[in-house]
């Protein structure tokens, strides 16, 4: 496995964590960017659920690279649970290390790891540090989730009522010793877990690095506009209501907002993609959310 030259020694032990879903090529590119930043080790948590084929493909292409481990439970746990299991593995094998989570379809730019470490070291009350991320040409830093309608605001810091600031799960550096409870809420299979985590941490719990440190392809595993993506987005919007609402009255208003927003969102996306998939996914998402723990009351 070829490597980029390592940066100078990092100021503390750092282990990378990424999830793989039947995509060894992208995962390997991501791994190279982490090792090129001088990380001590990288754990790949495999969610492929393909009888071990993806694990074996990764191990073969890693060619005995001792700084990379691959772990799996043999099933697709989803993003939140996969991250939590990966963190547990790292805590067991590298108990003093900080952990850098990154999507497998993203690459860490040279020098990025130390900049994130420095930001978290300088903010003793923060649990995570996160950077600006180039998502296919659109650079995003702090995002905001509007609780009432479920709108996501990506630019600036708008003066809207009911906003929750959060850091994308695409790239987060965490000090496990500062973390109380789980990293991500496992009620979320995919999407929404980063919003809930941001609400739990609050602004003081997140240190923002105002530099673009990550290049992200975006939705490589789930497929933007796919039935899976559209369904899981509906589920996440509904599961977030009881997680974020501050009272029973606000919860009622948030559900009412979803009744307006989600059908409108499905119609707009059906027109945009010239596909019935978003409309079909709306019904499936409502059903899955109703069945999920913490779902619609």
Give which of 17, 211, 50, 190 is closest to 130, Cα–Cα: 211
Q: Measured in whole angstroms, how far is the alpha carbon of residue 222 from the centre of its chain?
A: 13
Q: Is the pLDDT of residue 2 over 90?
A: no
What is the structure's pLDDT at 292? 77
What is the structure's pLDDT at 8? 62
The per-residue pLDDT for range 17-33, each reduced to its tens digit, is 999 999 999 999 999 99
Quote the strand ranges of 4-67, DSSP E. Answer: 14-20, 41-46
| Burial readout 138-169 (b: 16 or more C-beta within 10 A, e: otherwise) | eebbbbbbbbbbbbeeeeeeeeeebbbbbbbb
What is the structure's pLDDT at 293? 52
CA torsion sign, 184 to 27 to 139 to 205? positive
Angle at 100 between CA 8 and CA 6, to 5 degrees: 20
**What contacts 229, CB < 8 A, 6 or more positions away?**
219, 222, 223
Q: How confident is the model at residue 294 (pLDDT cuts 50, 70, 90)?
A: very low
Across 50-57, average pLDDT: 94
Q: Is the pLDDT of residue 4 over 70?
A: no
- Which of 41-45, 76-80, 122-126, 290-294 has the lowest average pLDDT? 290-294
pTM of the shown model: 0.91
The per-residue pLDDT for range 127-174, each reduced to its tens digit, is 999 999 999 999 999 999 999 999 998 865 667 788 999 999 999 999
CA torsion sign, 182 to 183 to 188 to 192? positive
């Amino acid at each position: 496995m070829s490597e980029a030259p390592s940066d100078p020694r990092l100021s503390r032990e750092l282990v990378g964590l990424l999830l793989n879903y039947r995509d060894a090529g992208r995962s390997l590119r991501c791994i190279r960017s982490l090792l090129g930043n001088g990380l001590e080790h990288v754990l790949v948590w495999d969610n492929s659920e393909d009888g071990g084929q993806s694990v074996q493909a990764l191990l073969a292409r890693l060619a005995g690279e001792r700084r990379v481990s691959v772990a799996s439970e043999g099933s697709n746990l989803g993003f939140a649970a996969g991250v939590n299991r990966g963190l547990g593995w790292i805590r067991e094998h590298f108990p003093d290390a900080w952990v850098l989570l990154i999507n497998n379809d993203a690459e860490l730019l040279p020098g990025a790891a130390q900049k994130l470490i420095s930001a978290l070291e300088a903010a003793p009350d923060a649990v995570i540090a996160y950077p600006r991320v180039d998502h296919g040409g659109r650079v995003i830093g702090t995002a905001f989730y509007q609780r009432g309608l479920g709108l996501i605001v990506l630019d600036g810091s708008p003066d809207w009522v009911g906003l929750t600031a959060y850091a994308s799960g695409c790239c987060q550096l965490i000090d496990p010793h500062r973390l109380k409870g789980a990293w991500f809420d496992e009620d979320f299979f995919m999407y929404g877990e980063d919003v809930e985590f941001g609400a739990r941490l609050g602004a003081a719990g997140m240190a923002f690095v105002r530099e673009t440190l990550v290049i992200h392809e975006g939705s490589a595993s789930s497929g933007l506009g796919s039935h899976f993506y559209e369904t899981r987005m509906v589920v996440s919007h509904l599961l977030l209501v009881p997680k974020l609402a501050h009272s029973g009255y606000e919860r009622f208003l948030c559900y009412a907002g979803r009744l307006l927003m989600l059908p409108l969102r499905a119609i707009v996306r059906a027109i945009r993609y010239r596909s019935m998939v978003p409309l079909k996914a709306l019904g499936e998402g409502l059903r899955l959310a109703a069945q999920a723990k913490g779902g619609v009351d």
